[in-house]
Structure formats: structure tokens, C-alpha cells
Amino acid sequence: MIDDGLRSRLFQYMGGILKSDRCVLMNIGGMPDHVHLIVSMHPQISLSDMMRALKAKSSKWVHETFPERRDFAWQTGYGAFAVSHSNVDKVAAYIRDQEAHHKRISFRDELIALLHKHGVEYDERYI
């Protein structure tokens, strides 16, 4: 769980990981059970490579920095969506307002609705 004691340091560390991989973290936020990022990816980095490095390196850092959080782990999968430059501010506002937003709808229900809306097939195990 990403609580207040971990959140800001973890997000800062994740930004450093992305920077070292020549990506730019434009915005980050989330809830205790998930994170949203807006990333400008370097054209020579694949999404899967970026996510693999981000999850592995940040998990390792959490375990080394906070030994009491040895159970910390990211889920197996991830969701990724392209955002046009003209919508970055709107998506950033959505990320900033996560707490209020998830009082209205759960992350799970919101993700399923988004996938249905755009006709994306998904495996229930990864929701």
C-alpha cells in the first residue's frame, strides 16, 4: 500500500528511474492501491521495457529503504493509454483529483468502464 509515509518519496524515486531511462515524468499521483503517471517516453524505449524497469527498480528501492514493507509489490500487469498533447492538462487534473474522484467510483469500476467504452478486451485476472 502506498500511504502518506511512502507516497512522495516513491513518486520522486520513480521520476528518477524514468529520467535515467531518458523518459520525462510529467505528472504522477494515485491512491494507496494504484499509481497514475503521465510520461513522455523516449522513442527508443518500449512501453514494456519502461514499465518493467520502473516496477522492478521501485520495488527494490522500497524493500531496501523500508525493510518493514517487504510485502510491497506491484501488480503483474499495467494499463497504458496514449494522451494527446492537447489533453495533458485535463489528464493531469484527473490525476491530482484522485481522492475525490474515487469517492464516486472505484478504480476497478472506472477501468472496466473505460475499457468497455473503447472496445478493449481484457483479462479479468489483471483488473
- Bigger pLDDT: 38 vs 4: 38
3-state helix, strand, coil split of the chain in percent (to 5) is 55, 10, 30
pLDDT exceeds 90 at position 122: no
Which residues sit opposite 36 in a β-bridge?
A: 29
Instruction: For the chain, list the domains and their CATH numbers.
Output: 4-126 (3.30.70.1290)
pLDDT exceeds 90 at position 38: yes
The three cell numbers of residue 14 are 520513480
Q: What would the mean pLDDT of 104-117 be, rounded to a whole number?
A: 88
Q: Closest Cα partner for 127 from 1, 54, 113, 119?
A: 113
pLDDT exceeds 90 at position 18: yes
Q: Cβ(114)–Cβ(52) under 8 Å?
A: no
Over residues 56-91, the pLDDT tens digits come to 999 999 999 999 999 999 988 888 989 999 999 999
Q: Cβ(29)–Cβ(36) under 8 Å?
A: yes
